[in-house]
Structure 1
């Protein structure tokens, strides 16, 4: 039997590119496409360093902004705490006031050091920071200031800058207050310093600017008599010169009205004694100190005017205790008798020839007003009672006994002594 050749299976037949048979089988993976999933799996098999994702730039910027915002917020909170917390904190208040001549050109640190040295702030460093955070010290007004314990840093800034809207106080000046009394009350109310106000009301340049007549035998150099008694609303730590201007302006206004009402009496005084406003105010201030009952003011005015005008009263001495006492207040160093003065009239004080305001030792009016008279006393000088009285003495209850002769006056004095004897 012959051998038949085996037929090749179609499925096992392999041909190459040139059709040759018997070529090795092709690796199936060599023709498989790389899909995204396979790329991802392949990437997962890389080294740890190559697998760390890069941080986006936007994320880093956002973190920086958040950090910066936190710093700014913290700084703002600290600033607010300084301004509203420390700025409103009060130092201990023992009632002490400080008259200070504030220097020009201090920076925040120097200003804080000065305030701390005066005992007005507890923390010099915190005050320096506060002043720097609230605008510095360029707006501070140099010159005299009245500062006080218990003021907050915010209030101290208001005072030193003389800011609009700072606290105010009501000043009431009673009739008969002298400028020394007014100065003490101004300081008590923390409106202006006592020494500063007395200096301002005796400043010749200011008096000239205010039109105050400074004539007279001795030349009284003050605004006494021109500081009208009334009630005023004034800011704390006011410039003393501005306070003086305000009071004098009110006096000018009242004088204009009173002079218009008493124009005939003023004309008569000008014709007989050569008086003007200053002399009228001087006599009115004496009446203010002598009178207690209002209806007696024209009677007391008539006594003093009769002493100046009556030819029979040759001494022309007004003999008022009140004038000599003012001399011991205003010029105590001039009169030896004032060294032992206790506040009450004594023969030595009222008759001391070295006391320029003694109307026992010197004839006529004193050099100037001894107080600040109210409208009724001024009106009494312009319209005095028509009498021949030359004397008066206290009769009790604020009233006086008036006499035309010295004998009658001496009798009245003795009766008064008998009535008050123990």
Structure 2
């Protein structure tokens, strides 16, 4: 009979623990990325005798929460099994709450804790995501100008203009004056290159075959523009002027014998000025895409995700963060690879707590606690009855 006291007491203690878990789930029903916990009960035995009950442990409910759009470019959600990876002073944490932003130093961090979001480098190692040096696209020097169109055999001149970029990303407008030199050399055109101040900065010659295609060894030439622009000393600009492949009519030609006007065009092969970052986004593979003012894009990072061989054994750390115990295997990878799932950009995952389920669980716990208390009360009455009989 005395064992009934211990059985009832163990029931009350265990149901109290279950209520702690349920109340914590309800309190976090609006916590982003929160995954509720389930308490499991285990019977206690002493030999062949019953010895009550104990809490067998709390396990993470791995059901995914609802995903909703936010419109914020750095808000991310995982559709699948993966967890985001956060790092802080050597510690590694895992979370489903992707409410991230960039801090003052350009690192992508968790808004709530400031812990840094991890990516994977080319060797599969965890690395921080930092765009501090990517807010501007550095200038690129122009190295080649490509020409197209027709230098009419019946014309004496032609002209084309183009804007190139120097080592500082400054624009230099160049004018190319073409002079028909066929009277001296068949198919020959002389080229004079002038800067925006009408100062000649280079010369050259191109030649065409009888069929109007560029002639071998005269289809391109190199010039060096002095390194001075708007009073600023720069490295000299080396340019290749390219007029097309020898023997073809795909680029620059010299065909027409009827029109006295040449139609020659010039375009840069490469080069750009300093371009600012205008937009940032993440795709379903977790790739961070940077869009610059000139339309160029860069993809410098890809969000790292983690999966576990026993997800329900994750340990609560703080907020919506979890840590992995030493007895479970952690695998790092990327979204859209294997079991990691995909990334939903501009979205966040809500808590997976089901309020109806939690209320039902509370009713069960309440009844169990009451019944355990009642068992102790009945045992106490029986003991009192025994004492009364003994005194009689």
TM-score bracket relative to the smaller structure: under 0.3
Higher relative contact order (CA 8 A, sep 6+): 2
Mark the structure with the bigger radius of gyration. Answer: 1
Q: Which structure dedicates a bigger proportion of its chain to helix?
A: 1
TM-score, length-scaled by structure 2:
0.25
Which has more strand, going by share of residues?
Answer: 2
TM value normalised by structure 1: 0.24
